[in-house]
Amino acid sequence: MSAPLLAVENIGRRFGGFVALEGVTAAFEPNKVTAIIGPNGAGKSTFFNLLSGVLAPSAGTIRFKQRDITGTPQHRFVHLGIARSYQITNIFPELSVHENVRVAAQAFRTRYDIWRARAAMSELDERADAALAAVGLLGRRTTTAKFLAHGQQRALEIAIALVAAPELLLLDEPTAGMGPEETRDMVALIEKLAADRTILLVEHKMKMILGLSDRILVLHHGRLIADGDPCHIQSDPEVRRVYLGQNDGYA
Amino acid sequence: MTASVHSVAEVMAGPAGRRGWRERLARWRVPLSVLVLCLLPWVLPSQALAVNVLIYGLLAVGYNLLFGYTGMLSFGHAAFFGAGAYATGIGIGQFGLPWFAAIGYGMLAGGALAFVVGLLAIRTRGIYFSMVTLALAQLVYYTALQATSITGGENGLRGFTLARIDLFGWSIDFLDPVKKYYVLMVFAALALWFVSRILNSPFGAVIEAIRENETRARACGYDVERSKVMSFTLSGLVCALAGALFALHLAIVPLDILGIQTSGMIVMMTLLGGAGSFFGPFVGALAFLLMEDVVSLWTPHWQIVVGTVFILFVLFLPKGIWGTLLAWRAGR
Ligand SMILES: Nc1ncnc2c1ncn2[C@@H]1O[C@H](COP(=O)(O)OP(=O)(O)OP(=O)(O)O)[C@@H](O)[C@H]1O
Ligand SMILES: [Mg+2]
């Protein structure tokens, strides 16, 4: 196994007395797609929030490229090479599609400059348009983001993450609320992005996960109950009991 | 997610015409503002009104940087306006500074105060942020009230009248209202240019992103807290300049300037004209002061009328006068 891009050791998170995540240890190799699954409230989003600095872990360490990044402020994460999308669409609704991505690109060039004209920084336009082209939204670049269809807004959020050229991309239910057609487009996009990137993915749609992922982690009540390749996970009795066995339409 | 059917060139051109006039307006906004300010004393009913529009307009422009563009509702901006005014008066009257150095001193004092207040207030959000700014501004008010030996307490600050000012070997009669107006206008014009640059700068994009979606801005790699403090300080700096001009204009600083009514008036002017637009605050200051001027001719209770108009605007035209005009023009 090559050196892991990301390694978490015994990480956990409590909210008051409630344990949302506990004792999760895992290492992630570069350029693989790993799915995180589990019933509602299992701690999947909490896990992502720890990996992207939104929340600090109450226990354990996070290493990214061998470096301990536990406790790093959230705004540093994207500069380290970790970008994410959220379970609930998180974009700049009143800005144009192009401006959404451009302002994300600008963070890597300048953040506090009050003097120069930002319009003159044309390489930001190019970077933004390249990210928009990658998700198929270049044709909508002047549209105000809030007027995009739901699926397009989700794609825009991925473009915002992509413009950071992240080595690790965290996608929290990228197909949430999408119909079959939009889901198919999103799967194709994730497959394309997976070619040269490490992706962690929270999803409920089992068919999609089995097709996409190299590995699956199963969370239940905040604990990691299984970790392995898709066939192994499918036949794991514990997983079948808590998750697949529910027969809630996902399986 | 559908494949792009537009060519890049076609896409880059954008919907021509409709955006065109807005961009032209944005490009010429500083010269246009200066032109209007030059004409103001000749088109308004009185010179006194013109100089008030100039000063309060600039004050609202400074406030708009924080409220309209960064999305933070401060109820304490009287503190920075007042600090600028007091420090300028004290600089001239007690330290014997030349008038232009006193303006710089006023800005420094107001900017430093804004930095400290900003640092404390940005730990909170929403209504709590507004309340913290209000409380800290009240603290400044009571400090000025108590420090009678420096500020003159309830009587206000006096004793720094400028009869003449010297500029590059010229001696200008500062008691002549027209000459005074144009001297003050030069500073207001420079400040407008400065604010316009900030709005066009990369930092201008950052504060708008924070206004739109703070969590997303943070995830995009921006230090939101630091950017907020910076925006707060820059806003305070511009408001302090307005205060300095106010002190030079009146040659006295009344204690009221630090009061809660002043903070409220700043918010009202900005909302009335249109928060988040470049011209809005000036339009709001003009409308507010014009209403006061006209209505107070036939009733001493002009505040009831102005207040009613303000409430009607908030309820039915939340974009303010200028914002509504822009939206109406864009919608056609
Ligand atoms: N900020 C918070 N404060 C308190 N409790 C929280 C917080 N965030 C999450 N929780 C709780 O932690 C548990 C795990 O939540 P989390 O969002 O990680 O679940 P999830 O696996 O993503 O579920 P879903 O599939 O519904 O998205 C839930 O019981 C939730 O109520
Ligand atoms: Mg979740």
d(CA B70, CA B121): 14
Any ligand 1 atom below 6 A from CB of A13: no
Mean pLDDT by 10 residues, chain A (251 residues): 88 95 95 94 96 96 96 96 97 97 96 94 96 96 96 96 96 93 93 94 89 94 93 86 58 38
Backbone angles phi, psi at A82, to 5 degrees: -120, 115
Tell me the shortest Cα–Cα distance from B122 to chain A, in angstroms.
16
Considering the domain architecture, whether residues A1 and A71 belong to the same structural domain is answered as: yes
Boundaries of domain holding A232:
1-81+200-251
> Contact at 8 Å (CB) between A151 and B1?
yes
List the structure tokens of B288.
Answer: 């507010």
Say if the Cβ atoms of A186 and B4 lie within 8 Å. no
CATH number for the domain that contains residue A6: 3.40.50.300
Mean pLDDT by 10 residues, chain B (332 residues): 42 51 88 95 92 97 97 97 97 93 97 98 95 97 94 90 80 88 96 97 97 97 98 98 97 95 96 94 96 89 90 91 88 68
Domain-embedded: residue A192? no
The domain total for chain A is 2
Domain-embedded: residue B332? no
Q: Which ligand is nearest to the CA of A204?
A: 1
Q: What is the ipTM of this complex?
A: 0.93
Tell me the shortest Cα–Cα distance from A121 to chain B, in angstroms.
9
C-alpha dihedral sign at B180, B183, B188, B192: positive
Considering the domain architecture, whether residues A1 and A77 belong to the same structural domain is answered as: yes
Choose the final residue of a domain: A165, A184, A210: A165
Expressed in angstroms and rounded, the spacing between residue A9 Cα and the centre of ligand 2 is: 21
- Map residue B296 onto helix, strand or coil: helix
CA-nearest of A12, A21, A14, A59 to A41 is: A21
Query: Which residue of chain A is at minimal alpha-carbon distance from B198?
Result: A114
> Contact at 8 Å (CB) between A82 and B174?
no
Q: Which ligand is nearest to the CA of A37?
A: 1
Query: Which residue of chain B is at minimal alpha-carbon distance from A73?
Result: B223
Domain-embedded: residue A4? yes
Boundaries of domain holding B196:
47-258
- Which chain A residues have a beta carbon less than 8 Å from that of B224? 75
Question: Which of A55, A75, A183, A185 to substitute to test the interface with B, most B CBs within 10 Å?
Answer: A75
Domain-embedded: residue A194? no
